[in-house]
């Protein structure tokens, strides 16, 4: 794929990096956008983190203001080696397997086992740089500055490149490489907190963050997790989205069941539960968020062939809604 040429970096307004910044978010679409003015990046399957660098010290913050520096101390120590007085990077921590594939489940296993040698921080945006606020500068100019900053950075800190080919071609290549999908971004747009149509995401497989509202145990093996009852919030209520019984290791089943028993409650947290899903169900306080991969939504709003990918400790249950694919806007000149 042909990489987009970086533009010249323009000057911004002088201001110190904040302790926290609300992230820019992507809207799910059913296909990548067409037309000029877009660049496309690989969509990573990990934890979104801001890296705030100041005087040789680094803080890693989640999108919900959680300080995860200690959780990823090894990465933070290496990021601190970049040659900059202060900066604010936007990126994602991922687990890269020996064969080059990335998966959220692999990241979860690496953290639980304390094996962090294959973790990488992929930076895709630079918002502050040596006292200069770059947020109002075009994306490609911010990324040109980011690429220059990371030229001699430690290997764990990677620059997330972008491509200027058609979104459909980039998505096809990403799916062939077993990536999660792509993020399409307006090349000349500033950084804008919140979700909108400047960043659009297209996925190779369907994936959804869901809230755990209950569980079942395996009938022939009491004390072993059978399946999770999952849901998402809509109009203030928790809507049942199906049961997930695959994707767990034996160790995860044991550890997960202990967490769930501590959250048990008598009544279901869901607005309604289909009769077939009530059998053997134990309901829990909706306090945990999990990442689930599946093939499609059924007409009655349930996941088909779901598979557990890991817990999302960086997401709040009340923020979990069903992502619905939108049609990208018609091509416009830019």
- Of the CA atoms within 13 Å of residue 219, those in its CB half-sphere come to 2
> Cα separation of 267 and 264, whole Å?
9
> Cα separation of 243 and 277, whole Å?
8
> Catalytic residue at 266?
no
State which H helix or E strand residue 284 sits in: strand 282-284
Q: Evaluate whether 32 touches 173 at the Cβ level (below 8 Å).
A: no
| 1 alpha-carbon distance from chain centroid | 24
Q: Evaluate whether 43 touches 183 at the Cβ level (below 8 Å).
A: yes
Catalytic residue among 11, 43, 71, 330: 43
Q: Evaluate whether 103 touches 309 at the Cβ level (below 8 Å).
A: yes
Q: What share of the chain is helix, strand, coil (3-state, %, to 5)?
A: 15, 40, 45
| 192 alpha-carbon distance from chain centroid | 18
**Positions marked active-site:** 43
């Amino acid at each position: 794929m042909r990489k987009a040429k970086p533009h010249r970096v323009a000057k911004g307004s002088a201001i110190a990096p904040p302790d926290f910044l609300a992230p820019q978010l992507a809207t799910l679409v059913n296909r990548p956008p067409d037309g000029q003015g877009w660049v496309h990046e690989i969509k990573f399957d990990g934890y979104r983190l801001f890296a705030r660098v100041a005087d040789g010290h680094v803080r890693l913050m989640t999108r919900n203001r959680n300080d995860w520096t200690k959780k990823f101390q090894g990465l933070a120590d290496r990021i601190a080696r970049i040659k900059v007085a202060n900066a604010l990077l936007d990126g994602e921590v991922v687990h890269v397997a020996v064969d080059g594939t990335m998966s959220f489940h692999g990241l979860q296993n690496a953290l639980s086992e304390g094996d962090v040698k294959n973790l990488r921080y992929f930076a895709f945006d630079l918002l502050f740089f040596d006292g200069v606020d770059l947020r109002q500068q075009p994306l490609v100019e911010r990324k040109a500055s980011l690429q220059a900053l990371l030229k001699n950075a430690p290997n764990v800190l990677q620059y997330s490149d972008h491509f200027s080919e058609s979104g459909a071609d980039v998505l096809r290549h990403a799916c062939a490489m077993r990536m999660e999908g792509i993020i399409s971004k307006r090349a000349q747009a500033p950084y804008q907190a919140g979700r909108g149509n400047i960043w659009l995401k297209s996925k190779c497989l369907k994936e959804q963050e869901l809230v755990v509202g209950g569980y079942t145990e395996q009938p022939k093996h009491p004390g072993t997790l059978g399946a999770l009852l999952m849901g998402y919030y809509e109009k203030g209520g928790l809507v049942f989205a199906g049961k997930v019984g695959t994707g767990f290791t034996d160790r995860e089943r044991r550890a997960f069941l202990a967490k769930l028993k501590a959250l048990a409650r008598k009544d279901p947290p869901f607005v309604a539960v289909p009769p077939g899903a009530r059998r053997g169900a134990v309901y829990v306080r909706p306090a945990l968020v999990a990442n689930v991969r599946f093939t499609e939504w059924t007409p009655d709003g349930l996941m088909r062939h779901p598979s557990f990918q890991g817990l999302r400790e960086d997401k709040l249950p009340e923020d979990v809604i069903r992502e619905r694919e939108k049609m990208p806007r018609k091509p416009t000149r830019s």
